[in-house]
Amino acid sequence: MHLAYLDHMKNVDLSASRRQFLKTGAAVTVGGLVPSMAFSASTGKGFKGSGRMDMSTGEDWIDTFFTGGADEIIHYYADTFCFEDLTFFQTISNKEDLYRAFVPFNNAGPDSPLGVHQFDIIRYDGGKAGDRKGIARKAMPEGYTADEWKTWSQDSLVGIENDYDEWAHMAWVWRATHNMDEFLGLKGCKGKTTHVRGTTFHCYKNRKIVREFTQWNFREVAIQLGAFPPPDRFWLKK
């Protein structure tokens, strides 16, 4: 998702005041409340609510990106966590890097150079998990060298020691109207609107995210921008 814009953040300096968020928390408010509190006051199910997490948790997560920005959403993640965007082969496990990755969405206005973005949860599956941890494969499969297997497995194993008590799988749609001519190396994007579906898997501990896997279909965007042909649905009857 937002990791598509990390190149724009390489030279951004996180000042001392910006870094302070790691210690003190955010001061962004909506109607006198931080966005997640304003959202969960009516549902009781957001990240600062109570009881089993559900669709409103996913909506709270997405909503806070745009109403609270990086300063607020960063606190939905536990101090020990792992964030992974599989589409970009990108794994983040410290909050300063995660904060930098989230900053581009702070400017969500219609004239933002990064465009106008809308995320909507389509489906939420989840439930209690007791006290769980990930289980790693014990033996390297046949056909790989040690270096090959490390390359393709190491990111999935980051944070495997983090235990969790609840899980969620969310299907969502990302609508983006582009204000830049180039997006992910694709030209001629300015003024166009694209849609892409994706999924996010969360592991929670005490209502905080300890592991996140996000994946979305870049091919869908490329097809809409004319860079890739649509798939040949050969299995369908003509």
Q: What pLDDT does residue 28 have?
A: 32
Q: What pLDDT does residue 103 have?
A: 86
Q: What pLDDT does residue 9 have?
A: 44
Q: Does some domain include residue 27?
A: yes
Task: Please tell me the distance from the alpha carbon of residue 167 to that of residue 135, in angstroms, as a whole number.
Answer: 15
Q: Does some domain include residue 162?
A: yes
Task: Write out the chain's pLDDT in tens, 238 residues.
Answer: 555 554 544 444 444 434 444 443 433 333 333 333 334 333 447 888 888 899 999 999 988 887 888 999 999 999 999 999 998 888 999 999 999 988 877 766 777 787 888 889 999 999 999 888 999 999 999 999 999 999 999 999 999 999 999 999 999 999 999 998 888 888 888 999 999 999 999 999 999 999 999 999 989 999 999 888 998 888 998 7
Q: Does some domain include residue 238?
A: no
How many structural domains are present in the chain?
1
Residue 183 belongs to domain spanning: 2-224
CA dihedral 43, 46, 50, 51 (to 10 degrees): 90
Q: Does some domain include residue 229?
A: no
Q: What pLDDT does residue 21 have?
A: 41
Q: Does some domain include residue 72?
A: yes
141 burial level (CB within 10 Å; 0-12, 13-18, 19+):
exposed
Answer yes or no: are the C-beta atoms of 170 and 199 closer than 8 Å. yes
> From the CB of residue 43, how many other CB atoms can be counted at a distance below 10 Å?
15
Question: pTM (2 decimals)?
Answer: 0.80
Q: What pLDDT does residue 30 have?
A: 33
What CATH number is given to the structural domain containing 69?
Answer: 3.10.450.50
